[in-house]
Amino acid sequence: MNEVVSIELVNKYLQLTDRARQKATSLVPEGSHEESLLKDMMSMSDDYRSDAEHFRDNGDLVRAFGAINYAHAWIDAAVRIGFLDGHGDDELFTLP
């Protein structure tokens, strides 16, 4: 059982989320309402990722770990609802 949030664990999840963010591609039409929603979702993901780095850099590893998981969840949700294509990667995403 893992009871410790280490800097290595936070960095691992930062890298995992970066991979997910780079791999997923848009499935929504340009200029559509869905594109606006997707942009908002990805902005939330990016903001949480930035928060995770901030918390990590200030030694607050528990909040960093929470924030990076929120960041990844926004990407995962966009894949799940069909706004992003996860390209069949069931390790980075919860596929529909």
Q: What are the pLDDT tens digits along the chain (96 aa)?
A: 878 999 999 999 999 999 999 999 999 999 999 999 999 999 999 999 999 999 999 999 999 999 999 999 999 999 999 999 999 999 999 987
Residue at 29 is within a domain: yes
Compute CA 38 distance to the chain's CA centroid, rounded to the nearest angstrom.
13
Continuous segment of H or E residues that includes residue 26: strand 25-26
Structural contact between residues 69 and 77, judged by C-beta atoms closer than 8 angstroms: no
Residue at 74 is within a domain: yes
Per-residue pLDDT at 26: 98
Residue at 45 is within a domain: yes
Q: Which domain holds residue 61?
A: 7-85
Residue at 12 is within a domain: yes
Write the single-letter amino acid at 49: R
End-to-end CA separation in angstroms for the chain: 30
CATH at residue 19? 1.20.1270.90
DSSP letter, residue 58: T
Residue at 38 is within a domain: yes
